[in-house]
Amino acid sequence: MHWALAKISREKVVVVLGRAIDALGSLLFLKLLSTVADKAQVGTYLLASSFLAVVLTVSFSALDQGLLRNVVEYRQRGTLARRYSAMLTAYVGLAVLIAGVAAAAMSGLDLAEPLRPVLLPLSLWLACDALKNLSMTVASGQRARDLIAWGSGVDYGLRLTLLWAVWSQATVTITAILSVLAAASMATVASYLWGQRGLLGRFSAADLRGTLSDSIRFAWPMIIWGLFGWLQNMSNRWMLSHFADLTVVAEYGVLVAIGTFPVTVLLGLVVTYIVPILYERESANPGSARRIVWLVALGLLPLCALLVLMAAVWHREIVILLSGIGYSRNSEYLPVIMAAACISATCSILTYAVYAQRRVASLLLANTLPGVLSVCVGYFAVGQYQLSGAVLTLIVSHIAAAGLYAATYMMNSHSPAQARSVGADSGSGS
């Protein structure tokens, strides 16, 4: 009993440590980047990272979620090593294919002109990040918290060290920034592969087909709505690039990064810790996930209120501290951005019960409508008011998403008997 409690306590400490490394690393990288690069370079980096986000979301990240949901079952059957090795191979091939398609598509899009000169380092960053996220997904499914914390340390440590080294020797360009990110991701992949070397081995074509089939069967709605999620969170950057310029993209992107940062850290901490546990408990006791996510969401509310209050009082000081004085002229938007992000993030916690119950398709509306709304509102708002319009669009989309997340959670409510019945049916079909 004491051993089990000690193990849980240590696990919590390591989870917090890993998220702290992520949080501190991303803050320091944002500060260093905004210090050593001009706004145009930062704006181009934000466009590049949004491109990476859409590709990962509609392909690799969706497959990662499907794999995460089945890691426990694979480990129990003794097939996890074969399936992990199969997915690593599949991801390499898929990354090469996507990079080729993206290069061809960008050559004909005027909107993508800022990224054309950096297609090579951007493609390399994409491939390495996909492999990094896959390895982290498997580590998370096995609750290998130490390895995840170590991987985060390698990633952000190299990002900061390499970017600082480039700055000390030459002018920081967008090519150098993306090359630094690709190199850091590559080293992180190597650390994960070494840490999980016991899972590397032979696999068959049947292993590859079966794993992809299992992942796609669980995650296909995520592939569909991934694009809409990207539209909600990232389309404003491209609209600002079209209606304004890269410096405005940089100002907006930095404000959103700072405003959503603490919420993202809280959400990441919760998700990293509870999701594997949530899936295990839901498999053993169908219906139990609903109460867990509800309690977690309620627990986040006072923390979110405190964060918003701090942003309202010290918004200018926070922006200057975490970026630079050149990004502070619109700092009054920070508390409203943070409040909208808090509302959306808190309600999104509820959806993990839906994931655990394998009712992912019921989230389709909640994950598509805010994206459509963001594009429709954003085209007119950003075109008319530029940065102010982008902030307004972000707020509207977050509030819409929060309402839809909560409504989906309520619509999936069942009595304990019904929950057990649905859980048994879902489990038999997996």
Going by pLDDT thresholds of 50, 70 and 90, the confidence category of residue 355 is confident
Residue 420 has pLDDT above 50, yes or no: no
**Mean pLDDT across the stretch 290-316?**
89
Going by pLDDT thresholds of 50, 70 and 90, the confidence category of residue 64 is confident
**Mean pLDDT across the stretch 91-115?**
76
**Mean pLDDT across the stretch 25-29?**
90
Count of CB atoms within 10 A of residue 31's CB?
15
- Please give the pLDDT value at position 414: 55
Question: By the 8 A CB rule, do 378 and 237 touch?
Answer: no
| Three-state SS at 107 | coil
In-domain check, residue 285:
yes
In-domain check, residue 366:
yes
Residue with tokens 């992949």: 189
Distance, in Å, from the CA atom of 415 to the CA atom of 430, rounded to the nearest integer, reads: 22
In-domain check, residue 268:
yes
Task: For residue 81, give the amino acid letter.
Answer: A
Question: By the 8 A CB rule, do 115 and 122 touch?
Answer: yes
The overall pTM is greater than 0.85: no
**Mean pLDDT across the stretch 325-347?**
93
Distance, in Å, from the CA atom of 295 to the CA atom of 91, rounded to the nearest integer, reads: 37
Average pLDDT, the chain: 83
Determine which of 208-222, 308-322, 383-397 has the lowest per-residue pLDDT on average: 208-222
- Please give the pLDDT value at position 283: 67
In-domain check, residue 1:
no
In-domain check, residue 8:
no
What is the distance between the terminal CA atoms of the chain, rounded to a whole angstrom?
A: 34
- Please give the pLDDT value at position 284: 67
In-domain check, residue 6:
no
**Percentage of the chain exceeding pLDDT 90:** 37
Determine which of 109-113, 288-292, 302-306 has the lowest per-residue pLDDT on average: 109-113
Q: State how far the alpha carbon of 1 is from the alpha carbons of 4, 206, 398, in Å.
A: 5, 42, 43
- Please give the pLDDT value at position 156: 95
Domain of residue 226: give its range: 13-429
Going by pLDDT thresholds of 50, 70 and 90, the confidence category of residue 373 is very high
Distance, in Å, from the CA atom of 302 to the CA atom of 299, rounded to the nearest integer, reads: 7
The number of domains in the chain is 1
Closest CA to 82 of 209, 187, 179, 180: 209
What is the tens place of the pLDDT at every residue in 273-298? 777 777 777 666 776 677 888 888 88
Residue 41 has pLDDT above 60, yes or no: yes
**Mean pLDDT across the stretch 312-338?**
93
In-domain check, residue 4:
no
Going by pLDDT thresholds of 50, 70 and 90, the confidence category of residue 2 is very low
Q: How would you class 329 by CB atoms within 10 Å of its CB: exposed for 0-12, middle for 13-18, buried for 19 or more?
A: exposed
